[in-house]
Amino acid sequence: MQLRRNGSGTGLVDPVPLPDLSAIQEAIGDAEWVLHAANQDLPCLAEIGLVPARVFDTELAARLAGLPRVGLGAVVESLLGFSLQKGHSAADWSTRPLPEEWLVYAALDVEVLVDLRDALAAILEEQGKTEWARQEFEAILAAGPPAPKQDPWRRTSGVHGLRSRRQLGMLRAIWEARDDLARRRDVAPGRVLPDSAMVAAVQADPKNEGALLELPVFRGRANRRLVAHWFTALARGKALPEDELPLHSKPGDGPPPVNRWSDRDPAAATRLQAARAGLAELSEKHSVPVENIVSPDLVRRIMWSPPEPRVAATVAEALRAGGAREWQVELTLDVLTDAVGRA
């Protein structure tokens, strides 16, 4: 964990041998914490007892400010003129002791964060977006840790290329086998077997271990030793009874995929098209990405099942119920009210 405070310099703390960090929380808990992509860091920090009272998210601020690239290195280079060192982001950070070169790399990530915060705050103030940012940062804190993902195997990259429920059952089985192995080894699942290899194995539907070994990733030495493990998982998924196979989508998971709207509900497709066009104009006018103007998932839900009566008050209520901030409600209300009235 990297820490920097003006006047105090930069410090690195290893929470593995120091699980009780209450002293740090007591020292900095009431200060504004500056993070880049805070929604990624806050759950991890909360696990070790560190919870900020206030936060400034430089990645989110860069989005609201209309910067074309919002990665930390790109924003630092654009606004401060510095180039951050690269090279160890994909390293195995469970290594102990951490090499000194890695420690320097980690420290540099926060070396200029406070200066970056000030530069972004000045831009937001100039653009009249300070209140937008304040509401967004408060929403990040209020959200708390994300709920555990339901059916996390569905997040496998390439899953949409699998057409049948039987294939989904095979993918789930090999995903669970990979996850179990990764947990026992304490390594990232993708290092055990890439998503692309799992999808390829399901699509190939090998009849035996030899056929599985013919696929590119499975020819490697590590996976040759595990071929029985992977083939057994695939066979287990393939042998599931029909009523135990996963559905194509999770029950109660909202509207269907947008590419099916025209067939299932042409009026809803018309509403969504109008909403997207209006939001795109707002995005261009205010130099804010559409996904930050308002949640695309929330827009789809409202357009698929519009509130009744279809007036501004009920649309505003639906937006707030779906987690939209007040600045988002005010900015998008006319566009979305017009869209729900199209059909």
pLDDT in tens, 255-304: 988 989 999 999 999 999 999 999 999 999 999 999 999 999 999 999 99
Does 251 score more than 60 pLDDT?
no
| Residue 313 C-beta-side C-alpha neighbours within 13 Å | 2
pLDDT band at residue 250 using 50, 70 and 90 as cut-offs: low
Tokens 């909202």, residue located: 254
Handedness of CA 92, 93, 96, 101 (dihedral sign): positive
Cβ atoms of residues 256 and 264 within 8 Å: yes
Q: How far apart, in whole angstroms, are the C-alpha atoms of residue 303 and residue 313?
A: 15
In 3-state terms, what secondary structure has residue 36? coil
Cβ atoms of residues 235 and 201 within 8 Å: no
Q: What is the pLDDT of residues 143-182, one digit of tens each?
A: 877 667 789 999 999 998 898 999 999 999 999 999 999 9
Does 227 score more than 60 pLDDT?
yes
pLDDT band at residue 109 using 50, 70 and 90 as cut-offs: confident
- Exposure string over 264-291, b if 16+ CB within 10 A, otherwise e: ebeebbbbbbbbbebbeebbeebebeee
DSSP state of 54: E
Cβ atoms of residues 174 and 131 within 8 Å: no
pLDDT band at residue 253 using 50, 70 and 90 as cut-offs: low
pLDDT band at residue 249 using 50, 70 and 90 as cut-offs: low
Looking at per-residue pLDDT, the higher value among 57 and 247 belongs to 57
Show the tokens assigned to 60: 């989110």
Q: What is the pLDDT of residues 111-137, one digit of tens each?
A: 999 999 999 999 999 999 999 999 999
Does 252 score more than 60 pLDDT?
no
- Percent of all residues in the chain with a pLDDT value above 70, rounded to a whole number: 98
**How many helices and strands in the chain, by DSSP H and E?**
19, 4
Contacts of 311 (CB under 8 A, 6+ apart): 337
Specify the pLDDT at position 182: 95
pTM here is 0.79
Cβ atoms of residues 111 and 10 within 8 Å: yes
Domains of the chain: 2-143 (3.30.420.10), 152-244 (1.10.150.80), 258-340 (1.10.150.80)
Q: What is the pLDDT of residues 182-199, one digit of tens each?
A: 999 988 899 999 999 999
Specify the pLDDT at position 202: 97
Choose among 297, 308, 291: nearest CA to 256: 297
- Look at strands 32-35 and 54-57 and give their pairing: parallel
Q: What is the pLDDT of residues 9-42, one digit of tens each?
A: 999 999 888 888 888 999 888 899 999 999 989 9
Cβ atoms of residues 237 and 226 within 8 Å: no
Specify the pLDDT at position 299: 98
**What backbone phi and psi angles, to 5 degrees, belong to 57?**
-100, 110
Q: How high is the mean pLDDT of the chain?
A: 93
User: Cα 286 from chain centroid?
Assistant: 24
Specify the pLDDT at position 328: 98
Looking at per-residue pLDDT, the higher value among 220 and 146 belongs to 220
